[in-house]
C-alpha cells in the first residue's frame, strides 16, 4: 500500500497518539505555514461561524427553516477543531448536549426545529451526525488534550456500533438511523446511504475504540462503492436497497445521485488517495460539466436534473481531482464565500480534506 500520509499538525498528532505507524508521515508533511488550505480553513471558519453559528452554539441550516441537525453540529464542531477555535467548539458541543442528546442510547436526535414545540419532534438519530460529532470530539480531545472529549467520542462510537449497524450479505453496514431502515422496516430493507460512510471518521474512531467495527464498515463501504452503481452514469444512488443482489436504488426514494451522494467522493478522497478507480467514475461524470460544477443525476437516464453550482459543490470536484492527479482542475476552491449552510459546509470540508490529505495540491503559486 502506498499510503502517503500528508497531514497537518492535528492529524499528525492524532496519528501518533493512536499508534498508527508513522513512517510515511513526516516526509510529506508540510509545515503549517506552507499549508495554504489550512490557513483558508482558519479564516473561512470565522466567516462560516459568523454566518451560520448562533451565539449559543447552534449551527443553523438557513435554507431549511433555520433548523439545526446533528449533522450540522458535527460539521461545525469538526471545523472548529480544524480552526483551533475551542470556544466555538465548546459552545456547539454544549448546545448539542443540551438539545439533541435526548436519547437513552447516547445517540442524538437528528433534527431540531425552532418553529416546533418541542423543538425535537422525532427522536430518531441520523447516524452520520453521530459519526461527525464523535469524530469531532475525538479530534478535539487530541488537539486540546482533553480526555473527557475522547471519552464522549468513545461512548458515541460504541452506541453507533450497537444501535446503528447491522450485518447484511454485503457485510456490516451503517444504518442511516437506529429506526426505520432495517430489513423489517422497509419493503426493500435494509436501506443504506453511502454518504453516511464518513470513511476518515470511521477509520479514526476504530483506532479510538475496538468496540467500533471500523474495519468491517470500511470494507463494506468500499465494496458497495464498487457494486452499488446505477444506470448509464454508473453513480451511486442517495439511498440504496440491500435487499437483493446486486443492490438497487431504494424504492422509497427518488433514484438519483443527489445532494446526499455528492459527499461520497468527498469522504473517500479525504480518507485516502488509494481509490482512483472509484473516484474516476465521479471525475468522468464531471469532466463534461460546465464550470466544473457537479449536478444531481437521475440515474435511470443519467440526466443532469439540477446543477450544483455553489462553490461548495464545485470544491468537491477539485478535491477528487487532487486525489486522482494531485492537482486542481481549476482555481476557485480557495475563494470561500458563504452561500447556504450545506454547500458552505462542504466547501470548508473540502478545504480540510485538501489541507489534511493533499496540501501540495493547493499552494501559493497555483
Partner 1 sequence: MLNRNQLTFVLLAACAVGAPISFATGEGPKPLNPLGTVGVPAQPVLPAVGIQPAAVGLSAPAVQPVNLPVGAAPVVGYSAQAVVMPVVPGNQYLDPQQFSPQPAPVPAPSAGIMPAAQPTAPVVLPSAPMQQQVQQPDTIPVRPGENPFARSPQSARAPAPQPASATHAQPAINAGAGTASPAATGEQKPPEVDETALRYYGQTRDFKRLGAELRRLKALYPGWEAPQNIFDAPTNISEQPIWDLFAAGNYAGAREAISRMQSETPSWTPSEDLSTKLATAEVRTLLERSYAQRNWREVITLAETTPQMMVCGEMNAMWLTAEALAYSRDYTRAFELYKHILTNCDDAVERQSTIQKADLVLPEAGVASLLAFGRTMPDGTPEFENLSYDRLRLKMGKIASGTAMMQIAPEQLQSFGDYVQRTGSAKDAALFGWFYYGQQNWQASYQWFVAASYIDQDAKNIEGIVLSLRNLEQPEKALELARQYAVATPELKKIYTELVSAILIDEESKVKLDETEIDLFATYVEEQQSPLGAQALGWYRLRAGEIKEAKALFTQSVDWEPTEGGVVGLAVMASRAKAWKTVTALKAKYGEQFAALDDIKVYRQQGVTQKKKRNTLKQETPNLLTRLFGTRPDDSKGQRPRAAVN
- Residues annotated as catalytic are 71, 128
Residue with smaller CB distance to partner 1, 171 or 332: 332
Please select the residue that binds partner 1; options are 24, 47, 179, 302, rule is CB under 8 A.
47
Q: 69: Cβ–Cβ under 8 A, 6 or more apart, which residues?
A: 61, 110, 111, 112, 126, 129
Q: 203: Cβ–Cβ under 8 A, 6 or more apart, which residues?
A: 214, 218, 271
For the CB of residue 37, give the shortest distance to partner 1 in the complex, in Å: 9
CA angle, 258 then 196 then 121, to 5°: 90
Residue 32 as a binder of partner 1 (CB under 8 A): the answer is: yes
Full DSSP string of 123-190: ----HHHHHHHHHHHHHHHHHTT-HHHHHHHHHHHHHHHHHSEEEETTEEEE-SSSSS-STTTSTT--
Residue with smaller CB distance to partner 1, 43 or 114: 43
**How many whole angstroms separate alpha carbon 265 and alpha carbon 250?**
20
Residue 85 as a binder of partner 1 (CB under 8 A): the answer is: yes
Within 314-343, the residues that bind partner 1 by CB under 8 A are 334, 336-337
Residue with smaller CB distance to partner 1, 37 or 163: 37
Within 234-293, the residues that bind partner 1 by CB under 8 A are none
Residue 363 as a binder of partner 1 (CB under 8 A): the answer is: no
| Segment holding 304, helix H or strand E | strand 303-307
Q: Which stretch binds partner 1 (CB under 8 A): 11-19, 59-67, 86-94, 223-231?
A: 86-94
Residue with smaller CB distance to partner 1, 159 or 355: 355
Residues that bind partner 1 (CB under 8 A): 32-33, 36, 38-44, 46-47, 50, 83-85, 87, 90, 94, 146, 148, 334, 336-337
Amino acid at each position: 500500500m502506498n499510503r502517503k500520509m500528508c497531514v497537518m499538525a492535528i492529524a499528525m498528532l492524532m496519528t501518533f497518539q493512536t499508534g498508527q505507524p508513522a513512517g510515511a508521515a513526516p516526509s510529506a508533511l508540510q509545515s503549517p505555514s506552507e499549508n495554504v488550505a489550512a490557513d483558508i480553513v482558519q479564516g473561512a471558519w470565522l466567516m462560516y461561524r459568523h454566518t451560520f453559528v448562533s451565539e449559543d452554539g447552534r449551527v443553523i441550516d438557513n435554507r431549511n427553516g433555520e433548523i439545526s441537525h446533528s449533522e450540522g453540529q458535527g460539521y461545525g464542531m469538526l471545523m472548529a477543531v480544524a480552526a483551533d477555535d475551542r470556544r466555538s467548539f465548546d459552545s456547539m458541543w454544549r448546545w448539542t448536549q443540551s438539545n439533541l442528546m435526548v436519547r437513552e442510547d447516547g445517540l442524538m436526535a437528528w433534527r431540531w426545529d425552532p418553529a416546533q414545540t418541542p423543538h425535537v419532534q422525532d427522536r430518531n438519530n441520523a447516524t452520520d451526525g453521530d459519526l461527525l460529532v464523535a469524530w469531532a470530539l475525538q479530534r478535539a480531545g487530541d488537539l486540546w488534550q482533553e480526555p473527557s472529549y475522547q471519552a464522549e467520542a468513545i461512548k458515541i462510537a460504541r452506541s453507533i456500533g450497537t444501535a446503528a449497524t447491522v450485518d447484511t450479505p454485503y457485510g456490516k453496514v451503517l444504518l442511516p438511523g437506529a429506526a426505520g431502515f432495517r430489513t423489517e422496516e422497509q419493503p426493500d430493507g435494509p436501506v443504506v446511504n453511502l454518504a453516511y460512510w464518513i470513511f476518515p471518521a470511521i477509520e479514526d474512531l476504530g483506532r479510538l475504540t475496538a468496540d467500533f467495527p471500523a474495519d468491517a464498515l470500511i470494507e463494506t463501504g468500499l465494496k458497495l462503492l464498487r457494486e452499488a452503481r446505477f444506470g448509464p452514469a454508473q453513480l451511486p444512488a442517495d439511498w440504496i436497497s440491500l435487499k437483493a443482489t446486486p443492490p438497487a436504488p431504494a424504492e422509497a426514494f427518488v433514484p438519483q445521485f443527489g445532494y446526499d451522494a455528492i459527499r461520497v467522493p468527498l469522504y473517500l478522497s479525504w480518507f485516502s488517495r488509494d481509490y482512483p478507480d472509484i473516484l474516476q467514475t465521479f471525475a468522468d461524470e464531471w469532466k463534461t460539466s460546465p464550470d466544473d460544477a457537479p449536478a444531481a443525476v437521475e440515474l435511470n437516464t443519467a440526466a443532469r436534473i439540477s446543477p450544483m453550482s455553489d462553490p461548495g459543490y464545485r470544491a468537491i470536484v477539485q478535491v477528487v481531482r487532487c486525489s486522482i492527479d494531485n492537482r486542481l482542475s481549476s482555481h476557485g476552491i480557495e475563494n470561500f464565500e458563504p452561500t447556504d449552510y450545506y454547500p458552505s459546509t462542504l466547501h470548508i470540508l473540502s478545504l480540510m480534506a485538501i489541507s489534511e490529505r493533499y496540501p501540495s495540491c493547493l499552494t501559493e503559486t497555483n
